[in-house]
Chain A
Amino acid sequence: NAGVTQTPKFQVLKTGQSMTLQCAQDMNHEYMSWYRQDPGMGLRLIHYSVGAGITDQGEVPNGYNVSRSTTEDFPLRLLSAAPSQTSVYFCASSSVGSGYTFGSGTRLTVV
């Protein structure tokens, strides 16, 4: 049981580049979300999805897009990377009554 798998683990981007952070879960969880973790600011919700075909914005959605075409996958797209998006990104999934299961994180640096 792999749980929540995130790829890549590390990434360096140049300002203006785009990329997709992958997230997949094999627990048939209906709820998936993306957080960014920054020092002193804790975890901030970027986007979330309550099921396939349904997504919504969280606290800090600007500069990011998501889609949920399947229950398993919830990719996060950076449209035009900026230094302010340097962060550690965590994907998480849950079902009703369970806590979050987190991925191992993606450490992104934008130069």
Chain B
Amino acid sequence: AQRVTQPEKLLSVFKGAPVELKCNYSYSGSPELFWYVQYSRQRLQLLLRHISRESIKGFTADLNKGETSFHLKKPFAQEEDSAMYYCALSSTGNQFYFGTGTSLTVIP
């Protein structure tokens, strides 16, 4: 069965420090992995997806099939990065499975 695990509910880092939000998944096939971000009381927005291999707002994520991970990283955190981050897996291209989310706080 598909499963997405985000082990950290809360994560605090200082401005300018590196940040890594962890995501592990279980899926027997070839999944598509995504990161979504939700700023305070706003809708979820797609941050990035593994197949595009792009960097958005300084964030990157690499799919590690051996470790079944898709950790989100940014070398220098900014205050505006404070938000809720969700990792998601898509198995069929349509149905998505979300982790429980990590609330990131960047301390000035």
Contact = CB atoms under 8 A, between A and B. Distances in A.
Interface of A: 30-31, 33, 35, 40-43, 45, 48, 50, 90, 92, 94-97, 99-105
A105 B43 contact: yes
A50 B93 CA distance: 11
Contacts of A94: 94, 96
Contacts of B100: 40-42
A41 B99 CA distance: 8
A48 B43 contact: no
Contact of B98 (A31, A40, A43, A96): A43
A50 B94 contact: yes
A19 B50 CA distance: 39
A61 B90 CA distance: 20
B45 interface: yes
- Which bracket fits the contact residues of B? 20 to 34
Contacts of B86: 42-43
B44 A100 contact: yes
A48 B9 contact: no
Contact of B101 (A30, A42, A105): A42
Contacts of A99: 34, 36, 46, 49, 90
B89 to A, nearest CB: 12
Nearest to A44: B98
5 contacts: A31-B95, A43-B98, A45-B96, A97-B93, A100-B34
A64 to B, nearest CB: 17
